[in-house]
Amino acid sequence: MKILQLCKKFPYPLKDGESIAVTNLSKAFHDFGCEITLLAMNTTKHYTEIEKLPKEFNHYREIHVSDIDNRVKPLGAFANLFSSKSYHISRFESKDYNAKLIQLLQSNEFDVVQLETLYLTPYIDTIKQYSNAIVSMRSHNVEYEIWERITANTKFLPKKWYLEHLTKKLKKFELTHLNDYDYLVAVTDRDLRKFKKMGYKNGAMASPIGLQVDRYVEKQITLNGKDISFIGSMDWLPNIEGLEWFLKEVWPVFSKQNPQVKFHIAGRNTPKWISNLDLANVVVHGEVPDAIEFIQKYPITVVPLFSGSGMRVKILEGLALGRVVVSTTVGKEGIEANHGEQIFVADTSDEFVAVLNDCMKDLPLMQTVADNAVALIKDKYDHKDNARKLLEKYKSILLSDAYS
């Protein structure tokens, strides 16, 4: 099967959930004998030096990139107030990217063109004009839902008003183009139900984000110590929002009760206010060379998310490494883990403090939950199992089209 994968940013390095999700699926496709071609935007915000890719990043038949400046600019953001277009989407519209897409479609016959996230939707007309391939949307989350939650959690009224304005246009775009896809791949059953409730009528399935499970399990070690970690892309607003809340509402209380415990923070594009934190027992590492190694060092990982949608890959990574993960209901969404069995769920500061204190007192409980987490990842979130099921669906569609 020949697959063209379209991405709004280059899926390397593997330091964020989207890059991990894209790379793991495409590697699994390759292992199953598919020819995968990548057309990715190489954005100013997440620029990758293609010539420095490691040798093991070799699962693509061809790699094509288009440089794009998608930074949020004050003038552009202001001008969008008077436009009907979604500013979220328009920042990813590129004539150069569209031209390279046309060239690829004219010189190849693809079976599937897979769009990674809603932001590639503006290129569907081009795909359908130059190709008969299945147009598949792999939706990593319900995009407008993230921004509705961010808006609801914003207190500063002028910013809240502007976010409401942006979110309404993003929601309108997402709903308007909902049935432009031939096939929809949601990363959770919960998201799939929501898309159908929103009015999606074409073929669809839920296909969870998968991990290269062996890569994590082979590095699993017994829980040791009591320190706590947080890791996430610091240019993603829900991460900043959750971390700021944890530092303000949870850490002062917990740290006073447990002065021997340190809180370790890591993530790319760490803002200065976090780098310059001067809080007792808080260690800021900035961007670390190896996220897996960082998570592995500390027995407890916190993921205090109150916005977002889809699945949190950092939670999957923590579970796969046999760490104890404490997250919110929103953070755990889409992951088949149960409170007190494979994960701990806390939604208030009191609940977070209580759960963390329980972990401090009961190492056997922590180890049981961690062991259960590894078993869950092995059973439900192996990237090859998920890729195989998706490929079988694509093949059945192609076969039915051939005989229709």
CA atoms within 13 A on the CB side of 48: 22
Q: CA–CA separation, 32 vs 106, rounded Å?
A: 25
Q: CA–CA separation, 268 vs 276, rounded Å?
A: 15
pLDDT confidence of residue 50: 93
pLDDT confidence of residue 296: 93
Nearest to 207 by CA among 35, 38, 385: 385
Q: In terms of DSSP H, where are the helices of 80-198?
A: 87-90, 95-107, 124-130, 143-152, 157-176, 189-198
Residue with tokens 């699993």: 220
Q: 381 and 17 in contact (C-beta within 8 Å)?
A: no
Question: What domains lie within the chain, and their CATH numbers?
Answer: 2-210+383-402 (3.40.50.2000), 214-380 (3.40.50.2000)
Question: Got the DSSP string for 234-247?
Answer: TTSHHHHHHHHHII
pLDDT confidence of residue 139: 95
Strand ranges, E, within 213-316: 228-231, 263-266, 282-286, 300-303
pLDDT confidence of residue 403: 52
Q: 2 and 391 in contact (C-beta within 8 Å)?
A: no
The model's pTM: 0.89
* Other Cβ atoms within 10 Å of 243 Cβ, number: 21
List the beta bridge partners of residue 65. Answer: 40
Residue with tokens 């869950």: 376
Q: Number of helices and strands (H, E) in the chain? A: 18, 13
pLDDT confidence of residue 220: 67
Q: pLDDT digit of tens for each residue in the chain (404 aa)?
A: 999 999 999 999 988 889 999 999 999 999 999 999 999 999 998 899 999 999 999 999 999 999 999 888 877 777 888 888 999 999 999 999 999 999 999 999 999 999 999 999 999 999 999 999 999 999 999 999 989 988 998 888 999 999 999 999 999 999 999 999 999 999 999 999 999 999 999 999 999 999 998 888 776 677 888 999 999 989 888 999 999 999 999 999 999 999 999 999 999 889 999 999 989 999 999 999 999 999 999 999 999 999 877 789 999 999 999 999 999 999 999 899 999 999 999 999 999 999 999 999 999 999 999 999 999 999 999 999 999 999 999 999 998 876 54
